[in-house]
Amino acid sequence: MTVLDDHIQAAQERYLAELMDLLRIPSVSADPRYKADVQRCAGAVGQRLTEAGLDAVEVIATAGHPIVYGEKIVDPAKPTVLVYGHYDVQPADPLELWTSPPFEPVVRDGRIYARGSADDKGQFYMHVKAVEAMLHHGGLPCNVKFMIEGEEEVGSVNLGPFVRANKERLRADVVLISDTAMLANDVPSINTGLRGLSYLEVEVTGPDRDLHSGVYGGAVTNPINALCEMIAGLHDADRRITIPGFYDAVRELSAAERQALAEAPFDEAAYMRDLTIGAVHGEKGYSTPERSSIRPTLDVNGIWGGYIGEGAKTVLPSKAYAKISMRLVPDQRSADITRLFQEHFVRMAPPGVTVVVRPHHGGEAVVTPITSEAYRAASMAMEETFGKRPIPTRGGGSIPIVALFEAELGLKTVLFGFGLDSDKIHSPDEHYGVFNYMMGIRTIPRFFHHYAALMNGKA
Ligand code: BES
Ligand code: MN
Ligand code: MN
> Taking phi first (over 0 means left), then psi (-120 to 50 degrees means alpha), and beta for anything else, what does residue 246 get?
alpha
Q: Consecutive sets of 10 residues in the chain, 459 residues long: mean pLDDT of each?
A: 91 98 98 98 98 98 98 97 98 97 98 98 98 96 98 94 97 98 97 96 98 97 98 98 98 92 93 96 97 97 96 97 98 97 97 97 93 97 98 94 96 98 96 98 98 86
398 lines ligand 1 (CB under 6 A): yes
Distance between Cα 413 and ligand 1 center (Å): 15
Terminal-residue alpha carbon distance, the chain: 25
Residue 314 pLDDT: 97
What is the length of the chain?
A: 459
Three-class secondary structure of residue 24 per DSSP: coil
pTM for this one? 0.94
Domain ranges of the chain: 2-194+365-458, 196-250+296-363
Burial class (CB in 10 A: 0-12, 13-18, 19+), 174: buried
- Find the catalytic residue in 88, 149, 153, 179: 88
70 lines ligand 1 (CB under 6 A): no
The CATH code for residues 196-250+296-363 is 3.30.70.360
403 lines ligand 1 (CB under 6 A): no
Q: Is 88 a catalytic residue?
A: yes
Which of 299, 364, 399 has most ligand 1 atoms within 8 Å of CB, for mutation? 399
C-alpha distances in angstroms, 249 versus 125, 341, 365, 369, 396? 38, 15, 12, 21, 18
The structural architecture, per CATH, of the domain 2-194+365-458 is 3-Layer(aba) Sandwich (3.40)
The tens digit of pLDDT for each residue in 223-248 reads 999 999 999 999 999 999 999 999 99
Residue 459 pLDDT: 52
Q: Which atom belonging to ligand 1 lies closest to the Cα atom of 398?
A: 21
Distance between Cα 335 and ligand 1 center (Å): 19
Between CA 45 and CA 400 the distance in angstroms is: 22
Q: Which atom belonging to ligand 1 lies closest to the Cα atom of 395?
A: 8
Give me Rg for the CA atoms of the chain. Answer: 23
- Find the catalytic residue in 18, 37, 119, 152: 152
